[in-house]
Amino acid sequence: MAVVIAYNSSRHIGALLDSLPAAFGDVDHEVVVVDNGSSDDTVDVVAARGDARLVRSTNTGFAGGINTGVRHAAGRGPILVLNPDAEIGAGAVPAMLAVLAGPGVGVVAPRMVEADGSLSPSLRREPSLPRAGGLSFTGLPAFAERIEDPAEYADQHVVDWAVGAVMLISRDCFAALDGFDESYFLYSEETDFSLRARDQGWLTVYTPDAEVKHIGGGSGESSTTHTMKMVNRVRIYGRRHGRMATAAYFGIAVLTELRRAALGHHWSWDTLRALLRPSLRPAQLNAGDSLIPG
């Protein structure tokens, strides 16, 4: 089954749905589109097609949308999680299913490319204190969470986690983790899922044999979403580490946003204020009670 999480996605979702028959090939499938309260005509676009089950929902975030879609699915097979601004290559799903059949595999991530066909660096290393400073441009694994080296995308291998625009998830793995953690609302939910899966013995595996074009930004980006991203980065680290390490991570996040703001990234000023004043954090995160978000 495929679960698409849509939010003001009318510009892109048609192309995604058009790509799915060739992506699945001979694999039987159902498509569930969860609309998270769009204010554009996403609902009308999907309803007019007839090739997907439409589930109207309030905006419970990306993780909440995934969980809602799985609950509404008729089948019990693997779950293909999709952003609406992706287009899936022909034969991608059978290729990913072959990888998912491997021992201990819980999540499969495909090769992602940009709209122009160039590689999209979608693989990530586990968050750590040295990687908290936004120094991915160094290319040094100790400081870079994002994996930029094209050689890392040439062969199939186990990864810590990958960008969640497209993920194929074992149903058993999904059930073992009780789905996605909805407290993240947006950003870090795929990080959390893969790391929790690893804690329980499930692997996340990247394969270059399945390709996905990810347009990106289909639901919009703003200072609010940037703030969500940074607050959730602190939260996921804090939920896996002790108080002192988390305080250090938080301090590095504050300094990183200060540096970005000074360099002209205007969204970082809002994020910096929200990090230092919990009451300014997006209400959807329920992270406004303490200086270091939990």
- Reported as a single tens digit per residue, the pLDDT across 81-100 is 999 999 999 999 999 999 99
Total residue length of the chain: 294
pLDDT tens across 153-195, in order?
999 999 999 999 999 999 999 999 999 999 999 999 999 999 9
* 291 located within any domain: no
Residue among 147, 82, 158 at smallest CA distance from 120? 147
pLDDT in tens, 98-142: 999 999 999 999 999 999 999 999 999 999 999 998 787 888 999
Whether residue 180 sits in one domain with residue 253: no
292 Cβ partners below 8 Å, 6+ apart?
A: 234, 238, 246, 247, 250
Residue with tokens 């305080």: 247
Do residues 158 and 231 both lie within one domain? no
Q: Do residues 209 and 230 both lie within one domain?
A: no
Range of the structural domain that residue 47 is part of: 2-214
Summarize the chain as % helix, strand, coil (round to 5).
40, 20, 40
Enter the DSSP assignment of 283: G
Give 217's pLDDT tier (boundaries 50, 70, 90): low
The token pair at 111 is 């090769």
Write down the pTM of the prediction. Answer: 0.95
For the chain, what is the domain count? Answer: 2
Q: Are residues 185 and 148 in the same domain?
A: yes
